[in-house]
Amino acid sequence: MNYLIEKQLIPLSQKKLTSQSIVIAHESGNANNTGPLSLENEIAYMTRQAANNGAFTSHWIGGGGRIIQIAQVGKMQYGAGKYANPHAYAQVELARTSNPDCFQKDYQAYIWLLRKLAGEAGIPCRLNTGTDLNAKGIKTHHWVSKNLGGTTHSDPDAYLMHYGVSLDQFSKDLSSSPTKTDIPPLPANESGLYYTVVKGDSLWSISKKYQTTLTWLKTANRLSSETIKIGQKLIISLNNNKGLMFTQTDRIKAVQHTIGIPQTGLFDTLTKRELIKWIQKTTGSEVDGYWGPKTASKLRTLKINSIGWDVYVVQAFLLGKNFLIVGTPDQSFGPKTVQATKEFQTSSKLLSDGIVGPLTYQKLFN
């Protein structure tokens, strides 16, 4: 089983490492954030922290097995204290959930990613061996606190144990060879919405039809690529996991959480102004929350494969203006953003080319 690693890289300048001796396993430690948007909430919080020279790690896992990378590996991250950070090839956070089924999916992705990163770093998939950096391998944050110092956290021990995973079991899972049963099949009685693939379908067209995302479809159906076959039965949504199918209100709340304002779910004047401020901060414009020529002059043209916070703000405005095909803003100008942009351009009597230039910015932000 291969997982999709979604990249939402924070614009950061990361220092060189002293060595690539360890990969660090964390969990959020946030007992107040266990709902269906816990992953998005944690990433939004860490993004703000990192922007203010605070802590950040390379990866987050949550939402039923989603993996999101927010910083570069092989470079300095600030999640485990001054003695461990210079030697950590990667640091992986696990977002909390109150859903046992979601945890199982998260845990399998956690094991897969930690093993993968250890392989990239050229270190063994052994957990918590030795008492210093000469014993290379995967370390928990607790091991770092106990043996290296510079931090006092004891994760992820208690959170894993809450779901019956002891450190001994965690160690065995990390050191064992992955098999095809890494992610168990869905129970035969799992209920929900299903779709049978017909000629002419693509995973993207199906996600558009049902107002969901490629990531969700790939995760729910255990797909390692976007290839599908005629007659294939796909899960669209599960009755016991509706939290993964987000409404427009849910997505706007996620945006509001990211930019640090009250989560009303309404795309109101405050939300628009704060988004304009966000884009002004990232482009070096005067930060006043108002759209005008000075801000416009700083913006680049956005098109397919563009990545960045300017993309995020454009996606948020498209979402707020009811072009729901854009999905949840993620900083990546993919096919859904192209389609949403085209639909917006058509409704605004602009050239429908899916490219965000001066005229599209003007119509979208006013």
Pairing of strands 66-69, 5-7: parallel
Task: Give me the tens of pLDDT residue by residue for the chain, a chain 366 residues long.
Answer: 568 888 889 988 999 999 999 999 999 999 889 988 899 999 999 999 998 899 999 999 999 899 999 999 999 999 999 999 999 999 999 999 998 888 988 999 999 999 999 999 999 999 999 999 999 999 999 999 999 999 999 999 999 998 888 898 899 999 874 433 333 333 333 445 678 888 888 888 887 676 666 666 776 676 767 789 888 888 876 544 433 446 788 788 878 877 878 888 899 999 999 999 988 887 888 889 999 999 999 999 999 988 888 998 999 999 999 898 898 888 889 898 999 999 999 999 999 999 999 999 999 998
Domains in the chain with CATH codes: 5-175 (3.40.80.10), 192-244 (3.10.350.10), 248-365 (1.10.101.10)
Angle at 43 between CA 38 and CA 45, to 5 degrees: 95
Q: How far apart are CA 139 and CA 93, in angstroms?
A: 12
Both tokens of residue 263? Answer: 């989560």
| pLDDT score recorded for residue 100 | 86
Q: 123-182 pLDDT, tens per residue?
A: 999 999 999 999 999 999 999 999 999 999 999 999 999 888 889 889 999 987 443 333
pTM here? 0.54
Q: How far apart are CA 61 and CA 89, in angstroms?
A: 17
Residue type, 119: G
| pLDDT score recorded for residue 365 | 95
Name residues whose C-beta falls within 8 Å of residue 131's C-beta, 6 or more positions apart in sequence.
147
